[in-house]
Structure 1
Amino acid sequence: MDAAALAGRHLDLVSAPFTLPRSRVLVFRESDGVRVHTSEYERRLAECRVLDLLTLTDAAGQVLPVTDVLPGRVTFGGPSTGSGTQGLGPSTGPATQDGWVAELVEASRPTATLTFADPSTLSLGPAEGATGLTLHLELPDGSVQRHPLGDGIRIRIAADRSATVETGDHAAALAATERIWATWFAKCPTVRDDLQEMTAFCWWVLGANIVELPSLGDARAIVPSKIGYVGLWQWDAYFIAVGLRHGDPELAREQLEIAFRFPQPDGQLPDVVHEEGVLATSDDLPESDRANLRRAGSQIADPSAPVPLTKPPLAAWALRKVLEVEDAPDWAREQLARVIRSQDWWFAGSDLDHDGMPEYGHPYSSGLDDSPIFDGPLPTVAPDLGAYLVRQDLEIADLFARYEPGVDASRFDERAAATRALLLDMWDAERGRFLAFGGGEAQLSDTVVGLMPLLTGTLPELIAESLAAAVDDPERFGLEWGLPTVAASDPDFSDERMWRGPIWVNTSMLVAEGLEASGYADRARELREQTVALVIHGGGPHEYFNPRTGQKARTATTAFGWSAALFIDLAVTLSE
């Protein structure tokens, strides 16, 4: 079975909507038909309604249900005498969040299809021989429209979310959409047989999450999700590029280029690049949000100053991985200069107590916003940040050796050694773990950030052994479905609350890489296998997972970009 068909097994119109690369239109299941939304920055789906309900009826007035979904089209069907078809129907077993699952339904024949004519236009048309069909549209204002389907209808969606109905060549639209997806899936990596279906779905997620950011010309950004996360977040761009490189290294480079394109004057990289600009400090947020971002309780930071907002320093790590697949020396040198300025900013602009070890000025800059290490006063010095800074300086030195061999890069090795020494000062031998410190106060929560020093690959043997043991400990991080973000034995553990217990694919992947860098290659492979098994068991690349059940956490976003990308990266690694 081809990759598009494999991906189609997961397109339930609930957790995975029908959409098109570069499109802001999303189609979800609703009752006996579908509903249509736009995807917009900082707006909930409920605020972006285009059509509350779209249904099709046959000549007898019978509603035609959705019977099949593939990346390029949604099929509506009617009764048939055939032997059955894979379709969508009410659940008789474990249900998805609104009670629908992909399952065998009564045999049906295709009667009409829905596809895209262009990124802002839906196209509907009858199957061969189908006549007398009527399109019914329920609009957010409560009005209802009815249109004979004829040979084809197009629904053009404007920037204000208004919908205009017109006639159109449906066959041409269907063929063009199929070509778009065929081109995309031709790049899908080939992996181990048991991982291929989920890899195909994850590849669909990356393609589906491509948007255009008008302020950047024709730049293609892969957003974390068209459901609620429409922008290019710095950290997400790194993880997405790492997975994307296996099938589309050019597009992977584009994600990094966008993330690096808008540094602040001091070199700090912004947290988010979006269609209205960038999010780099609290001043880029609405006034109502700014008070919540002040460093309340801090003794060393000006509570009236704008708070820098960024993401952890994994830029050089991502840059190196993308270049491993397809080299681009001139581009690499250009991006490396921006990475170095960003790394220097951490030490010059985010070492708020001037002790040589930078801090997180706000939880947003950690990527782990709700982690209990931020329950204390800010700013927070954390072992994960120390580990990332050590790793980044080492990566920069290696990239210099590759692309600028005549340049003295010793300062990066020297700074890595100094940061490593300060990182080791955060080791609590009595508790057997690295601690974070908020405003100088020890934060005792046992969290995944304490495992990240493994990434340095240079820890003393006894400390590395202690961290590897923690990964295996069923009372702490060695749970059945994988690595929780807070140890199961910790009072702050919650199996559902974001960053306070649920499993995230990115932290699991980073810890696996740290285990390998620290000499535990077999254990690293086990964690990678456990992580891909989790995504398959959970039904897809969700934002985060309940560590007790292995299912999507209740409030997690579905079809999440970095989970999809890192599943692909893990699948490729495990298939080598």
Structure 2
Amino acid sequence: MTDAAALAGRHLDLVSAPFTLPRSRVLVFREGDGLRVHTSEYERRLVECRVLDGLTVVDAAGQVLPVGEVLPGRVTFGGVRSLSEERSDETKGAHRLAALAQEPDDVEATLTFADPSTLSIGPSSGAGTRDLLTVRLELPDGSAWRYPLGDGIRIRIAADRSVTVEPGDHEAALAATARVWDDWFARCPVVRDDLREMTAFCWWVLGANIVELPALGDARAIVPSKIGYVGLWQWDAYFIAVGVRHGDPELAREQLEIAFRFPQPDGQLPDVVHEEGVLATSDDLPESDRATLRRAGSQIADPSSPVPLTKPPLAAWALRKVLEVEDAPEWAREQLARVIRSQDWWFTGSDLDHDGMPEYGHPYSSGLDDSPIFDGPLPTAAPDLGAYLVRQDREIAELLARYAPPIDAAPFRARAVATQELLLKMWDAERGRFLATGGGEAQLSDTIVGLMPLLTGSLPAPIAEALRAAVDDPGRFGLEWGLPTVAASDPDFSSERMWRGPVWVNTNALIAEGLEASGYAERARELREQTVALVIHGGGPHEYFNPRTGQKARTATTAFGWSAALFIDLAVQLSR
């Protein structure tokens, strides 16, 4: 086992981080002294995907062997190791990490994977009581089965969540799973010492969140989370690719390729690619979501007319970053053509009031679904969208110059200039901030979307300085644990409610890049340092964080893909 795998294992609590395998849909969680097993499925909650409500190993006296140490490749029963002692030990050498890879003498059994859909349980190599151990399985229907452990058993989980049990070679399963994780962790990026442990855990998160999409020819998608977000969301794919590129450029390219693979006839990219198809319009939403559009009350939100669902235009940004690590000219040209069609769609298909500045026709398309900028009527013209469009046209022009020089890049540069002029009209000089408009009405909430124009790197100096001051203002965005998604002084601020105050790693990372592009390199580095400190302090790459405590917000998902990927990207940058 590699050092990185041992470091990642310190965070595998089977609560916020389940036991799983790259490409697997099986998730194993702690349940009392034993385990429970679920599958991971698109648009289904864990409670709907129960496989085993209980999995315990029982000794000859009828005592349940407690779950002990958890590592990426195995879960132990018996031989409970004090993880608090391991974490408090100041010895950080390789010999200490090697010791973590060894089984304590009193470990009696281990669980691992035999393949992505099959669990394997068997006695540990030193257990002398293997013939006296029993495995007890509790099924969701209330029945329970017992099996003698013997030399090992395998639990096969079918697509319908049914279970079959048979004997199996447990040592071979342990070795095979170890090879999968050893190969994955061999790619873990090298970072400075204080960031190594969390980088290793974040690298585990990315590997653990890989699923196969058989309908796409066994494509590997790194999903936002196997706990609740089982699909490839367009925006998530961009951020995940930016992080995973540092260790596996091919897998990074695969994320973008899946995101770009299914454009609509007019070039619009879908919001989600999943195992059952794509989510590209409001017709793909459940009725409850269509009712939300009806309540928004604008003509464009008429539920009888499909509303396109996509994500903000950061495609060229992600494409350029992935190509920086490993060049792939032919692939780049193929993907760039799809990015250009998507960018053109924003201006032809999402400029809903025909004023030259595209709008969000649905909150989902913003990536910031619950932001108060959408409390007003739709469609919403927002400064973040304007900034992304400016940045994307410039990125396209640079990529064309590099990969397709015969194509004239001037129209993209010209459109970027025109879009920025419209973006500057959103600046409210009296309030000193950019404002979104919903259905033509100003939305006065002071939100993080108003800082995104820094990404253009070409704002007038007084405006750039005002945004930089907002980043530092402790009454607005300059909080101890990073930038809240709504200013702390705003009436809409909530420290726990999704996009209404909590800190997100992706918005922090984007604003840091905007600060650097706008000439504030040192402040950008400070924000990056603050962001990696947040993830370490909060205990992992959660979906979002309480800006007052720096801990996971109550309803946030754990082991979240883009938070893990962007932590890695920031750690690599800060280690140079």
Q: Normalising TM by the smaller chain, what interval?
A: over 0.9
Name the residue aligned to 2:34.
33
Q: Give the match's secondary structure for 1:11.
A: coil
1:85 matches 2:81 = yes
Name the residue aligned to 1:428.
428
Comparing 286-295 and 139-148, the one that deviates more: 286-295
Deviations 1:529-567 (A, max 9, x none): 000000000000000000000000000000000000000
Amino acid paired to 1:540: G
Name the residue aligned to 2:393.
393
Alpha-carbon spacing, 1:295–1:333, altered in 2? closer, same or farther (3 Å): farther
Looking at structure 1, the residues matched to 294 and 217 of structure 2 have their Cα atoms a distance apart, in angstroms, of 34
- Report how far residue 63 of structure 1 moved: 1.1
Do 1:240 and 1:565's aligned partners in 2 also have CA atoms closer than 8 Å?
yes
Looking at structure 2, the residues matched to 86 and 220 of structure 1 have their Cα atoms a distance apart, in angstroms, of 36
Following superposition of structure 1 onto structure 2, how do residues 47-86 of structure 1 map, counting pairs within 5 Å? 47-78=48-79, 85-86=81-82
User: Which of residues 115, 133, 136 is equivalent to 2:112?
Assistant: 115
Looking at structure 2, the residues matched to 505 and 323 of structure 1 have their Cα atoms a distance apart, in angstroms, of 23
RMSD after superposition: 1.4
Deviations 1:276-321 (A, max 9, x none): 0000001122345433334732256655210100000000000000
Deviations 1:10-68 (A, max 9, x none): 00000000000000000000000000000000000001000101111112222111110
Looking at structure 1, the residues matched to 216 and 286 of structure 2 have their Cα atoms a distance apart, in angstroms, of 22
Name the residue aligned to 2:223.
223
Q: Give the match's secondary structure for 1:109.
A: coil
Following superposition of structure 1 onto structure 2, how do residues 139-538 of structure 1 map, counting pairs within 5 Å? 139-294=139-294, 296-299=296-299, 302-538=302-538
Looking at structure 1, the residues matched to 330 and 109 of structure 2 have their Cα atoms a distance apart, in angstroms, of 50
Looking at structure 2, the residues matched to 296 and 540 of structure 1 have their Cα atoms a distance apart, in angstroms, of 36
Looking at structure 1, the residues matched to 107 and 82 of structure 2 have their Cα atoms a distance apart, in angstroms, of 12
Alpha-carbon spacing, 1:284–1:87, altered in 2? closer, same or farther (3 Å): same
Name the residue aligned to 1:130.
129
TM-score normalised by L of structure 1 = 0.95
Do 1:155 and 1:165's aligned partners in 2 also have CA atoms closer than 8 Å?
yes
Name the residue aligned to 2:555.
555
Amino acid paired to 1:446: D
Q: Give the match's secondary structure for 1:125.
A: strand
Q: Give the match's secondary structure for 2:402.
A: helix
Question: Percent sequence identity over matched residues?
Answer: 86
TM-score normalised by L of structure 2 = 0.95
- Report how far residue 418 of structure 1 moved: 0.3
Comparing 443-452 and 301-310, the one that deviates more: 301-310
Deviations 1:134-192 (A, max 9, x none): 10111111111111100000000011111111110000000000000000000000001
Looking at structure 1, the residues matched to 71 and 213 of structure 2 have their Cα atoms a distance apart, in angstroms, of 26
Do 2:301 and 2:307's aligned partners in 1 also have CA atoms closer than 8 Å?
no
Looking at structure 2, the residues matched to 12 and 469 of structure 1 have their Cα atoms a distance apart, in angstroms, of 40
Looking at structure 1, the residues matched to 549 and 286 of structure 2 have their Cα atoms a distance apart, in angstroms, of 38
Do 2:256 and 2:319's aligned partners in 1 also have CA atoms closer than 8 Å?
yes
Looking at structure 1, the residues matched to 55 and 293 of structure 2 have their Cα atoms a distance apart, in angstroms, of 42
Alpha-carbon spacing, 1:116–1:442, altered in 2? closer, same or farther (3 Å): same
Do 2:506 and 2:566's aligned partners in 1 also have CA atoms closer than 8 Å?
yes
Do 1:295 and 1:362's aligned partners in 2 also have CA atoms closer than 8 Å?
no
- Report how far residue 214 of structure 1 moved: 1.4
Name the residue aligned to 1:93.
none
Unaligned 5+ runs, structure 1: 79-83, 90-102
Do 1:41 and 1:230's aligned partners in 2 also have CA atoms closer than 8 Å?
yes
Q: Give the match's secondary structure for 2:27.
A: strand
Give structure 1 regions of 4+ aligned residues with deviation exceeding 4 angstroms: 299-303
Looking at structure 1, the residues matched to 84 and 138 of structure 2 have their Cα atoms a distance apart, in angstroms, of 22
Q: Give the match's secondary structure for 1:278.
A: strand
Deviations 1:325-348 (A, max 9, x none): 000000000000000000000000
Q: Give the match's secondary structure for 1:206.
A: helix
Q: Give the match's secondary structure for 1:250.
A: helix
Amino acid paired to 1:450: G
Looking at structure 2, the residues matched to 264 and 70 of structure 1 have their Cα atoms a distance apart, in angstroms, of 43
Amino acid paired to 2:6: A
- Report how far residue 88 of structure 1 moved: 9.0
Deviations 1:450-493 (A, max 9, x none): 00000000000000000000000000000011110000000000
Do 1:222 and 1:561's aligned partners in 2 also have CA atoms closer than 8 Å?
yes
Alpha-carbon spacing, 1:565–1:300, altered in 2? closer, same or farther (3 Å): closer
Name the residue aligned to 1:20.
21
Do 2:505 and 2:531's aligned partners in 1 also have CA atoms closer than 8 Å?
yes
Looking at structure 1, the residues matched to 134 and 383 of structure 2 have their Cα atoms a distance apart, in angstroms, of 61
Do 1:347 and 1:357's aligned partners in 2 also have CA atoms closer than 8 Å?
yes
Q: Give the match's secondary structure for 2:296.
A: coil
Amino acid paired to 2:274: H
- Report how far residue 407 of structure 1 moved: 1.8
- Report how far residue 77 of structure 1 moved: 1.1
